[in-house]
Amino acid sequence: MNSRDTLITELNVLENFDPLVPEEYQNSEYLMLGNLSPLVQSTVITRLNKRPKLIAMDTMNFWMDIAMGDLEKTISMVDLLIINDEEARQLSGEYSLVKAARLIRGMGPKILIIKKGEHGALLFVKDEVFFAPALPLEEVFDPTGAGDTFAGGFMGHIASTGDLSFENLKRAVIYGSAMASFCVEKFGTERLLDLKSEEISSRIERFVRLADFDMNVLVK
């Protein structure tokens, strides 16, 4: 089977996947919809008795190619969409990420994160935009899972603070970027398994130094 056939098969499995939400997950305050079929994602939302404080969603160009209607419907139901630059361009039909962001946020999500891989990430909230750097790495051993790790780090910070302000969303993007920078250093999830909290703090510190500058010094 070629890769498209493989994906279609996977799709059929997914379409028949009935996402039952276990009782103990019913009152979750934060929902992260991983990159599955938009129908499965929206079914999860409708099966929650109470709307979470934040519903975040990942997706990819594959769903734009074959299920744009479902995808648009699901996007209209979420608070935060996390996609990469190529996906943002395909979803909006706009090359400029500023224009793309405006169109995509018009589809529903109040918050949009556009990931740019080794070039960092953009966070759009209200009239604000934040440019998070990516750590310049000596070597990327295996990029698999970097996007999911970003989402996990982001949601972990939001869930542990309960703060949806712009300032805290920015911090969450930095946490997500830091976690993703670990992920790519080894194969699969290997680097994340025995990660110590001091390693995370010192990685965060590197992001702070990397992006730090102070213009409030008068020119002589």
Query: Which spans of this chain sit near a second copy (rule: CB under 8 A)?
Result: 96-99, 116, 119-120, 122, 128-134, 136-140, 157, 160-163, 167-168, 170-171, 173-174, 204, 207-215, 217, 219-220
C-beta of 1 vs 217, nearer to a second copy: 217
| Least distance from a second copy to the Cβ atom of residue 180, Å | 15
- Comparison of 70 and 85: residue with beta carbon closer to a second copy: 85
Closer residue to a second copy in complex, CB, 62/141? 141
Residue type, 6: T
Q: What is the 3-state secondary structure (H, E, C) of 167-191?
A: HHHHHHHHHHHHHHHHHCCCCCCHH
Sheet arrangement for strand 80-84: 30-33, 54-58, 80-84, 111-115, 121-125, 128-132
Shortest CB 208 distance to a second copy, Å: 6
Please count the residues of the chain.
Answer: 220
Least separation, in Å, of the C-beta of 70 and a second copy? 29
Residue 40 beta carbon to a second copy: minimum distance, rounded to whole angstroms:
32
Taking the C-alpha atoms of residue 172 and residue 129, their distance in angstroms, rounded to an integer, is 14
DSSP letter, residue 127: T
Q: Minimal distance in Å, beta carbon 169 to a second copy?
A: 10
Toward a second copy, which CB reaches closer, 70 or 185?
Answer: 185
Q: Say how many CA atoms lie within 13 Å of 167 toward its Cβ.
A: 2
Strands 54-58 and 80-84: parallel
Nearer to a second copy, 71 or 180 (CB): 180
